[in-house]
Amino acid sequence: MSAPGGMFALEETSLVAELFDEPAIARLRGLVRLDDHVITRANPHVPESAEDTEILITGWGAPRFDAGMLANWPNLRAVFHAAGSVKRIVSPALWERGIRVSSSASANAVPVAEYTLGMILLSAKHALDSANAYRDTQDMSLSRPRGDIGAYGITVGVIGGSRIGRRVLELLRPFDISTVLYDPSLSATDAAALGTTLVSLHDLLRASDIVSLHAPSLPETYRLLGASELAIMRDGTTLINTARGDLIDTDALVAELMAGRLKAVLDVTDPEPLPVGHPLFSAPGVTLTPHIAGSIGNELRRMGRQTVDEVERFVTRGSLDFEVHHRDLATIA
């Protein structure tokens, strides 16, 4: 039996090489007949050869696969998304046709959790503020943090028991840090299995020295942290957001930052990107990074490797370890 046909659809052709190094491409070619045509944002034309495609490998910038787009792929059996969330590219038509969907979201969760761990430890040490002060004052004695600093004995509140939230909890276990978790979809038993304690959102905000957001962007999580929630947080608490900007009321957060009551590490914002001159750029106690927590650089190859592994499972055994079902869309990021 001949190998199934395969095709790429993503932002631009160069992203293929960033995701899949030469050994990964060689493995793919041993599993599927890769079409030389790459569907990109600049060249969205779907060639006639798509009729033979059974395996579609997508990434950031892929088109949305609704019924009209899927008409180009009459023999498509599976979509392998070499990126995180599939929400932007999927439609009910995929599952109605029995096309299976797999995502590399779990691979993308790794660098986000690593970024979060780094920021938790740096925030607990007040290292980010101290570095800024040292640069500005050029005076070591004036720049050294004072007071009750450090990670020993602090409490970190994790909002969202997602892949990333669970990974963060796992990474925090070796440290002398207590954790609490808010996730209305989990039970106390579930939380205990993750090595943490399930609490209400308000109890988490009251108890935590550092709060880290890992919830999906859903109608029920929009502005999850508004003015009243931020007001519950203790003075000096650091809020870390690597999830979605619209989980936080930006204006309310700016007010707390300007008052010097809270600190924040924001890799995502609302709006995103921030317009020039936005108050967050000049607010005290905030560290802004340009949406870098997810996979970039050599981290992309982790997603590529997972995608190839998943294609191999599907082609050789018909199984998927990272399958996304239609019912999952209501709760995933």
Q: Encode pLDDT of 204-224 as tens digits.
A: 999 999 999 999 999 999 999
Q: CATH says 109-288 is which class?
A: alpha beta
The count of C-alpha atoms lying within 13 angstroms of the C-alpha of 296, restricted to the half-sphere facing its C-beta, is 8
Q: Give the rounded percent of residues in the chain with a pLDDT score beyond 70.
A: 100
206 is catalytic: no
pLDDT value of position 247? 98
**DSSP reduced 3-state for 103:** strand
Q: Give the rounded percent of residues in the chain with a pLDDT score beyond 90.
A: 97
At 51, the pLDDT band (50, 70, 90 cuts) reads very high
Average pLDDT over residues 51-80: 97
Average pLDDT over residues 311-328: 97
- Asked if pLDDT for residue 1 goes beyond 80, the answer is no
Q: Encode pLDDT of 291-312 as tens digits.
A: 999 999 999 999 999 999 999 9
Task: Find the catalytic residue in 291, 302, 312, 323.
Answer: 291
Query: Which distant-in-sequence residues (6+ apart) come within 8 Å of 171 by Cβ?
Result: 113, 114, 116, 117
Any idea which residue has 């519950």 for tokens?
Answer: 232
CATH fold for domain 5-103+297-330: Rossmann fold (3.40.50)
- Using CA of residue 83, residue 85, residue 89, residue 93, what is the dihedral sign? positive
Q: Encode pLDDT of 126-181 as tens digits.
A: 999 999 999 999 999 999 998 899 999 999 999 999 999 999 999 999 999 999 99
302 is catalytic: no
Q: Where in the chain is the domain with CATH 3.40.50.720?
A: 5-103+297-330, 109-288
33 is catalytic: no
- Asked if pLDDT for residue 241 goes beyond 80, the answer is yes
Task: Find the catalytic residue in 41, 144, 272, 326.
Answer: 272
Task: Find the catalytic residue in 163, 214, 244, 305.
Answer: 244
